[in-house]
Amino acid sequence: MYQQLLKPILFQMDPEKAHHLTVDGMATAAEIPGFLPLLKSMYGVQRNPALELTLCGLNFPSPIGLAAGLDKNGVAVKGFAAIGFGFMEVGTVTPLPQSGNEQPRLFRLPEDEALINRMGFNNVGTEAMKSNLRRNGRVPIPVAVNIGKNKVTPNEEAEEDYRKCVRALYQEGDFFVINISSPNTPGLRNLQHGEELRSLLAAVKQEMAQQAVKIGGADKPVFVKIAPDLSTEELEYIMETIVNSGVSGVIATNTTLDREGLNHPNRTEAGGLSGRPLTEKSTEVIRRIYAQTGGRLPIIGVGGIFTAEDAYAKIRAGASLIEVYTALIYSGPGLVREIQNGLAAKLKQDGFTHITQAIGADHR
């Protein structure tokens, strides 16, 4: 139905309007009695014990997640859980609401199976997101809160913005993601390096620990999302800092500034590129991280995952979990079931009985 009916309509619309129509429509429809069971019957997946795993103390019904950026404000969590995702990120959220960059700021590149965005962390802020997540209630999958800094906050004060996000949303998220790799907030990627990174990670870890004491229970997991456009030397230094910080894991990768090999006229637009052109680039970053850390640091792989083969390549390279975004726009909600069924077949083909046996298999 998506490919034949909905996609042609949505792709005639402005990309950002189509985005809001889809996410807000799913949020509204989720309140209609019977909608979520209908959605689940159409697109949901059957739980497969071979694909269920526990990571950082959290139970994931499948390794397939929804990346940050689609449900920026946490309004449609129930709907995305119903179509079979094993976990999802909401955000990026900043302490104060912000409108983001000037429109237009989202562009399709159909012949490249890609998107370019320069959204600029447009979001409703932590207090409104808190209300949205509470309105959704608990869902049967882990929900990560992706956090960032406001555009007007200078880098030397960024730590307090990340602390504010944790403070406001600690009870709402199952784990947290520190976004320091979006190319669309000026200077943000500078936080990936040197003393700025060490200090930021220490501040977030300290705030997480304080909230754990205040609320009760163990610290919640924290992942760091990194850029794909790092040199070998930069990646080694960043990963050494991340490992030493004691955070739970890393998400590889965010969007890229690279435009090599693109054909669509929109390739000249500024912003972060996602989709098919990122497939190999992000997989290679995962491979290097796994090798550097000896597989001791959990990795969530994201970037250009359109098929089970793409997902499995990232898992064999070292990813414990994977996330999709752009492929969902091009393929529709049936994508989750296709990837899950394909992953199960790949495991069987390689003689594995559980997904954990495939993680980092290319290194053995």
Which are the catalytic amino acids? 182
Residue type, 118: R
CA distances from 150 to 42, 68, 123, 166, 194 (A): 39, 17, 10, 14, 21
Contact residues for 212 (Cβ-Cβ < 8 A; gap 6+): 218, 219, 220
Cβ atoms within 10 A of the Cβ of 203, count? 16
Residue type, 315: I
CA distances from 43 to 1, 80, 143, 333 (A): 11, 10, 20, 6
Q: What distance lies between CA 269 and its chain's CA centroid?
A: 23
Where are the extended beta strands (E) located within 170-289? 175-179, 222-226, 249-252, 272-275
CA distances from 22 to 19, 53, 138 (A): 5, 30, 22
Q: What is the CA radius of gyration of the chain?
A: 19
Residue type, 125: G
Q: Helix, strand or coil for residue 203?
A: helix
Q: Helix, strand or coil for residue 260?
A: coil
CA 114 – CA 111 distance, rounded (Å): 8
To the nearest 10°, the Cα dihedral for 68, 70, 73, 77?
-90
Q: Which of 124, 102, 100, 104 is nearest to 116 (CA)?
A: 104
